[in-house]
Structure 1
Amino acid sequence: MNILVISDIHGNYPALAAVAQAAAPFNCSHILNCGDSLVYAPFPNETLDWLRRNQVFSIRGNTDDRVVKLLKGKSMKKPSKPEKRIMYTSTAAALTAENKNYLLELKKKKILRLGHAFIGMYHGSPTDHEEFLAADTPDKRFKELAKESSCEVVLTGHSHSPYHRQVGGVHFINPGSVGRMMDGRPDAAFAILQLDNGRIEASLHRCAYDVEAVVKALAEQQLPAIYGEMFRTGTKRLD
């Protein structure tokens, strides 16, 4: 059984489409998405339409949480900078009724049984929705989480840092970010999880996508051009 693992799409449908094409040869039976599906790229409906159409197992991330607040009529304290806030408000305003309902129904975590394995899906970590677990996180932290986990596989996102760490009998996997990698390479990231009669393996992948389509859409929607440069350079901020 091959499973496509994705996270942190951030509304970047061109990147998501490229990942879908790159993963097609693996003939994945399921798709698991660890949240932050929205905000920073201007394709919220295309992104959620794809997740719904492909029956993706999805959870919410922290950017999704803020959009949910806006949809519920609540105020949003963070981010405070106007160029960031508009990315949230424009996303919430653009969503179709179907996608609003879909987002409102998503939970912050999910545990699945696929094949012989129990798989936990979290955005940050099993104990903290916004914890950053990265490729260089010390083994000590993963050992602590492994002791508290009833799952053979723990999937996370949030850090945009791809890794596969096997610690304390648990496979910890972060596929990286589909839509907003921050390591100086704009290429989209994803993982393939392989389950075979109790054997668990994972591989990490990158693929190019049409970055200029994102830059063009930002300009057409009169959204801050700085995000276009961030997508071009694969960075979180520009100095």
Structure 2
Amino acid sequence: MSACTLRLALVSDIHGNLPALEAVAADIHHRGVDQIVNLGDSVSGPLLPRETAQWLMAAGWPSLAGNHERQLLTQAPAQMGASDAFAHAALGAAEFAWLRAQPATLRLSDEVLLCHGTPASDLIYCLETIDAGRLRLADRQTIAERLGAERSALVACGHSHTPRSVRCGGQLIVNPGSVGLPAFDADRPEFHVAETGSADARYALVERRADGQWSAQLIAVPYDTRVVVQLAVAAGRDEWARALSTGYAS
């Protein structure tokens, strides 16, 4: 990468929500970027896993393996959670081959590192701490510890579904939020919820300006959620239907 202006679009946590992905892709197209990258957790969920995988395969974006890709490839179906099991049953040989080719992290240059959670783990939130059952912004020391020895000027991460842009020790760390699932609850490492409060699909634009500094825009894109809400209900996943339609987990 040279010192000229560069614009990247960051997407993450699509979770098989093809209508949301299409809305985000259309919005990115209108804005113009040099490259689009996908930070993982692309297909797991009770929506359109195979169709989403095929769309991404055709698009050819660099894509990471998130924790759900790892689980889809390493766990027996009987051991999987409901979202992974649904995706596993829907995917074919070509889609699994695409998943197996995805790296856990990707260094675009000396300046840019892509990861799903932290550089070392796909299960740890980089920018959040669980507090009283909810996610809040982690303190600077905790973020620095999670980054470890990573010194890239820009670190892009996902996993928490929570859009954030944080500067820490001269680095810009950006979580674009979730394209496909704006709220969730989880039991590990302890019970907690993540909520954005709207049904919008999320992504981020990051730009390295001519002066070498990185900036970020966190973008929310409205789309028609009726199809995916109906799919979630049909799959018996009312919690997904609620999250998809409201951006709240309860």
TM norm structure 2: 0.82
Matched, 1:23 2:28: yes
Please tell me the residue identity of whatever aligns with 2:92.
T
In the TM superposition, 1:194-209 aligns within 5 A as 194-197=207-210, 198-209=212-223
Partners of 1:2 and 1:151 in 2: CA distance: 16
For the aligned residue pairs, the C-alpha RMSD in angstroms reads: 2.0
3-state SS, counterpart of residue 40 of structure 2:
coil
Tell me, in whole angstroms, the C-alpha distance in 1 between the residues paired with 2:225 and 2:43: 17
Letter in 1 for 2:166: R
Report the Cα distance in structure 2 between the residues aligned to 1:131 and 1:147, rounded to whole angstroms: 13
Deviations 1:133-173 (A, max 9, x none): 23611111223345611311111101111111111111100
Q: Is the 8 A contact 1:2 1:26 kept in 2?
A: no
Q: Is the Cα–Cα contact under 8 Å of residues 191 and 205 in structure 1 kept in the other structure?
A: yes
1:48, distance to aligned residue in structure 2 (A): 1.6
Q: What is the deviation of 1:235?
A: 2.5
Misfit runs of 4+, over 4 Å: none
Q: Is 1:92 aligned to residue 92 of structure 2?
A: no
Question: Hey, what does 1:184 align to over in structure 2?
Answer: 197
Residues in 2 aligned to 1:136 and 1:125: alpha-carbon distance in whole angstroms: 15
Q: Give SS of 2:51's match.
A: helix
Alignment partner, residue 61 of structure 2: 56
Aligned to 1:82: none
Q: What is the distance in 1 between the residues matched to 2:144 and 2:71?
A: 31
- Spell out the pairing of 1:1-239 with structure 2 (5 A cutoff): 1-70=6-75, 74=76, 77=79, 79=81, 85=82, 87-113=83-109, 118-132=111-125, 133-134=127-128, 136-145=137-146, 148-182=149-183, 183-197=196-210, 198-219=212-233, 222-236=235-249, 238=250
- 2:48 partner letter: F
Question: When the two structures are superposed, what TM-score results if normalisation uses the length of structure 1?
Answer: 0.85
CA distance in 1 between partners of 2:248 and 2:66 (Å): 20
Gaps of at least 5 residues in structure 1 are 80-84
Residue-pair matches, total: 224
User: How much has 1:223 moved relative to structure 2?
Assistant: 4.2
Further displaced range: 151-160 or 37-46: 37-46
Structure 1 residues 147, 177: CA separation in 2 closer, same or farther (over 3 Å shift)?
Answer: same
- The aligned amino acid for 1:172 is I
Which 5+ residue runs of structure 2 have no aligned equivalent?
1-5, 129-135, 184-195
Q: For 1:187 and 1:231, how far apart are their aligned partners in 2?
A: 9
Between the aligned residues of both structures, percent identity stands at: 28
| Deviation of the 1:90 alpha carbon | 2.2
Quick one: distance in 1 between partners of 2:13 and 2:100? 17
